Each structure stands twice: as structure tokens, then as C-alpha cells.
Amino acid sequence: MIRIGGVLVSPGEGGVYGERMIGSYRVWDPRRSKLAALALLGSEIDLAPEMRVLYLGAANGTTVSHVADYVEVVYAVEFAPRPMQDLLEVCRRRRNIVPIMADAGRPERYAGIVEEVDLLYMDVAQPDQAGIALRNLRFLRKGGTLVLMLKTRSVDVTQSPQDVLEETVRTLTAGGLSIRETRWLEPYHRDHAAIVCEAIK
């Protein structure tokens, strides 16, 4: 990913969410995007022009739009009607985003649309976040990367965030993933952790 003077940017048309521009590059705000926060905190995650991405929990398309600036195609899954309206507007400007209105927990509903992907990115506020990720592994190529943005308070508010993280890591490992790194997203996002995995099956 591209940095200009230590600022993370993406090479694309601006005006998606009022983001600042540096020349022809869009400033990627880590307080508006967990992926930007992860990158700025030192993760080695990268985006390349030939990559296909399945994005679960696309919301209104803020992070999706930046990802689309870098990669070949983004399959953007969102369930809620209101954010989907905003996402469709983003798609009008970026032809490499495929919007899919569906429940990420039921990947069979979009199995006929999504090709094999290099990156599975998930940002879904559901209790069964690990289970949803594992059900979508059918789309991830062997050796591909899963990035799960874990919203610990959505999983179990009675457990400590650290305990939720550790339990989620165990579930993902049992599901056939190799954990490359885990990283808390403070100071940008409280009680959120990124889990970066590799598909080994």
C-alpha cells in the first residue's frame, strides 16, 4: 500500500466520504477504516492489482472503495438495506466492485457469483464471527489470506476482549487456518483486534 509522508493513501477518485486528497491520491483515514488502522500499526498486509477480494460486511463502502483502488475486483457483501444504498453509489464510480446484498452467514446464497479470491476480509458485527469466516473459506484459495476484524463486544460482552480473541484464534486454527498475526487496533478502534490468517487447506 502507498504512503505519502507517512500518510496512507489509495490511488483513486475522491469524494466517497469527504476524504482529503493529496494530488491524485485519497487519504485513507485509520479512524474510519480498520484495514487502514491495521496497515498503519505495522501489519505486512498488502493489496496488489491482480488480487480478487471477498469483503464481508461492506457497510456503506468506505473501506471497500479504498480496497477497490488497489485490486482487480472486490465482491462486497452487505445485508442491511440502508448501507447498501450508499455502497451502490460507490459502485457507480468504481466498476470493479460487485455489490451483493446477502447474509454473510449464508455463503451458499452468493456462491454462484463469487470467484476464488486471494483475500477474504471480514468486518461483521455478529456473535459468531469466527463461524461466519469459516463458512466463507470455500471462496479463499489455498495460501490465500483471511483478515478477520474481530469486534469483541459483539461476540460476548461478558468476556474480556483478550479472552474473546484467544477463543476466536482457537476456533480459526481448528478450522484449518494458520494464524500469521493478531493485533489490537488501539488507538484507532477500541476493543477491536485484527486476526490475519493463511488458508492451509
Q: Is 185 exposed, middle or buried (0-12, 13-18, 19+ CB in 10 A)?
A: buried
85 annotated ligand binder: no
Cβ neighbors of 83 (< 8 A, separation 6 or more) are 58, 59, 60, 61
Instruction: For residue 139, say whether it is annotated as part of any ligand binding site.
Output: no
Cα radius of gyration rounded to whole Å, the chain: 16
User: Does the annotation flag 59 for ligand binding?
Assistant: no
In our burial notation (b when 16+ CB lie closer than 10 A, e otherwise), range 120-154 reads bbbbbebeebbebbbbbbebbeeebbbbbbbbbeb
123 is in an annotated binding site: yes
> Is 78 assigned a ligand-binding role in the annotation?
yes
Confirm or deny that 63 is annotated as ligand binding: yes
Residue 103 marked in a binding site: yes
Count of CB atoms situated within 10 Å of the CB of 158: 6
Q: Is 194 annotated as a binding residue?
A: no
Annotated binding site for S-adenosyl-L-methionine: 62-63, 78-79, 103-104, 123-126
Annotated binding site: 62-63, 78-79, 103-104, 123-126
